[in-house]
Structure 1
Amino acid sequence: MASWDETVQAYERSFGTLCAGTVDRLLGDLPAGMLLDVGCGTGGLALRARDQGRSVTAVDASPEMVARAREVLGAGHRLVHEDEASAPSARVLEAALPDLPLEAGSVDAVAANFVINHVARPADCVREIARVLRPGGRTGMTIWPPGGGGWTELVGDAFESAQVIALPPARLPRELDFPRSPEGLAGLARGTGLEILVAQELRWEWRIAVEDLLAGIRGGVATPGATYLAQSPAVRARFEEELRRRGRAAAGPEGLLTFASCAVYVLARRRDGR
């Protein structure tokens, strides 16, 4: 079983680079001012925002992710003093949706990059995002659509060849779930009174070395990682051999795999005077 520290390193090396594919769009659409990064992971989005001159509060439920984000940002958990408010600053807190330790109407923007697809109560979490936004503030939210990205075919084929035993699918109760589509995510936002500005799919290419992809899976990241760790040592070894073989065959001249990637994206605004 991978330790959480190993999982953090594995995420940063692998699927963290996939999730970074939407960061430029999110930050480009969100207003200046105080930014809240919910589910900040290892702090990549928060760092980019801080370097752009924004003040940032980043939160994550994992103590290990929080520790790594603090390293990346050089930030602690102290509050920003009033005389520092004009300078870019950052703090990282251990917290999670739908219970954020922030006052209502206290931030100008909220980035929720691949967070809502992981939570147990999606509607409550989007409602909490709306609560902390100032009137006129915006949130940018991304989730994975059904089927995952282009990388899933390669990993799935390697799983099948290695006779990996799949884990039971984890699904929310019907009354809590929502369609993993632009309209489905927009519907959650509308239910909190937010005004929808954009609801669409984002597409980009993810480039990664085979060994970096394998490192993420071996580290227990996401469903593929959990599936890998649930196998016997013999099955794990077969899978690694299959993934390397297939990865080498699919890699480009630079030795990198290139996968078409897609995310559901919603940009929403808290109405003035709400």
Structure 2
Amino acid sequence: MSTWDGVAEAYRRSFATMCEGTVPRLLSDTPEGHHLDVGSGTGALAAAAAARGRTVAAVDADPQMVALSSDLSPGAVLRAALPDLPFGDGAFDAVTANFVVNHVADPRAAVSELARVTRPGGRVALTIWTSGTPQWARLVADAFSAAGVVSLPGQRLSPELDFARSVEGLRGLASSADLAPVVATELRMPWTIAREALWRGIAGGVGVAGRTLLAQTPGVRAAAEARFREATEPLSVDGVLTLQTSAAYVVAEA
């Protein structure tokens, strides 16, 4: 299970902008009314839902993310983690979990909990990163390899808890929670980010790449940064990168 403790601000300035690329689609495919955003992160999705006139609640497991979400979202933001949400059965018309299910310790229990708090006929919308290596991760991996970065021990879930990180795998999770998928597709999105912001996100400890970098010696960290800058210099325009990303996306009815 991933942890975001202590890295919220680094995430906000970097990878959050990539995750926010799915927000318009998540809102267009879910109904108006009472909306719950689970794993609210910076609060961008909750704020966008509120701007559409929805009554919004949000939760996040990390107190720093709760603080960030509270700054943006006008609705209640609570500290809570899947699979234990502090809401009654069928309380929401729409429930979103944007890049959340890929971080929890028990994905099936997590999606079942999302289904529980959704009213009959309401919709649950889910995104995850797939098992492929996106462009940004290839650039970082190449820099790490050239600098001699030592990988951390694997942190995959046990086979009985894990699921295929794909559109079909995510669809299967929804179906296992007695949800009826109505959309199951891959979303392809360009991610525009300053290369300085991308590196600061990694250097701030975001995700597996960030935790791996922080576990290295100062010399190896400096070498990895130098290699990253060399590799991304010819790809940037005025210091800005445009990188291709993709995500699995499933919307299902309760």
Query: Do the structures match in fold with TM over 0.5?
Result: yes
Task: Tell me the alpha carbon deviations over residues 231-257 of structure 1, each in whole angstroms, 9 at most, x when there is no partner.
Answer: 0000011111111221212113x4211
Alignment of 1:125-204 (within 5 A): 125-204=110-189
Question: Is 1:114 equivalent to 2:99 in the alignment?
Answer: yes
- Cα distance in 1, alignment partners of residues 185 and 154 from structure 2: 26
Correspondence for 1:63: 63
- Cα distance in 2, alignment partners of residues 182 and 71 from structure 1: 33
- Aligned Cα RMSD in Å? 1.2
- Cα distance in 1, alignment partners of residues 125 and 112 from structure 2: 14
Task: Tell me the alpha carbon deviations over residues 8-57 of structure 1, each in whole angstroms, 9 at most, x when there is no partner.
Answer: 11101100001011111101101000110000011011111111111111
Question: Is 1:220 equivalent to 2:205 in the alignment?
Answer: yes
After alignment, is 255-264 or 129-138 more displaced? 255-264
Correspondence for 1:79: none
Once the 2 structures are TM-superposed, how far is the Cα of residue 72 of structure 1 from its aligned partner? Answer: 2.0
- Cα distance in 1, alignment partners of residues 140 and 167 from structure 2: 26
Aligned counterpart for 1:205 among listed residues 158, 166, 190:
190
Letter in 1 for 2:39: G
Task: Tell me the alpha carbon deviations over residues 49-92 of structure 1, each in whole angstroms, 9 at most, x when there is no partner.
Answer: 1111111111000011101111222x4xxxxxxxxxxxxxx110
SS at match of 1:123: helix
TM-score normalised by the chain length of structure 1: 0.89
- Cα distance in 2, alignment partners of residues 220 and 190 from structure 1: 34
Aligned counterpart for 2:219 among listed residues 208, 225, 234:
234
SS at match of 1:167: coil
CA contact (8 A) 2:196 2:239 kept: no
Alignment of 1:2-17 (within 5 A): 4-5=5-6, 7-17=7-17
- Cα distance in 2, alignment partners of residues 158 and 198 from structure 1: 37
Correspondence for 1:265: 249
Question: Is 1:53 equivalent to 2:53 in the alignment?
Answer: yes
Letter in 1 for 2:70: R
- Cα distance in 2, alignment partners of residues 166 and 147 from structure 1: 18
Correspondence for 2:40: 40
SS at match of 2:248: strand
SS at match of 2:76: strand
SS at match of 1:117: helix
- Cα distance in 1, alignment partners of residues 24 and 177 from structure 2: 26
Once the 2 structures are TM-superposed, how far is the Cα of residue 147 of structure 1 from its aligned partner? Answer: 2.4
Letter in 2 for 1:177: D
TM-score normalised by the chain length of structure 2: 0.96
Q: Bigger radius of gyration, 1 or 2?
A: 1
Q: Give the percent of matched residue pairs that are identical in Structure 1 and Structure 2.
A: 52
Structure 1 outlier segments of 4+, above 3 Å? none
Once the 2 structures are TM-superposed, how far is the Cα of residue 4 of structure 1 from its aligned partner? Answer: 4.5
Question: Is 1:255 equivalent to 2:239 in the alignment?
Answer: yes
Letter in 2 for 1:261: T
CA contact (8 A) 2:125 2:250 kept: yes
- Cα distance in 2, alignment partners of residues 182 and 143 from structure 1: 9
Aligned length: 251
- Cα distance in 1, alignment partners of residues 145 and 241 from structure 2: 20
Q: Which runs of 5+ in 2 are unaligned?
A: none
Letter in 1 for 2:66: V
Correspondence for 2:27: 27
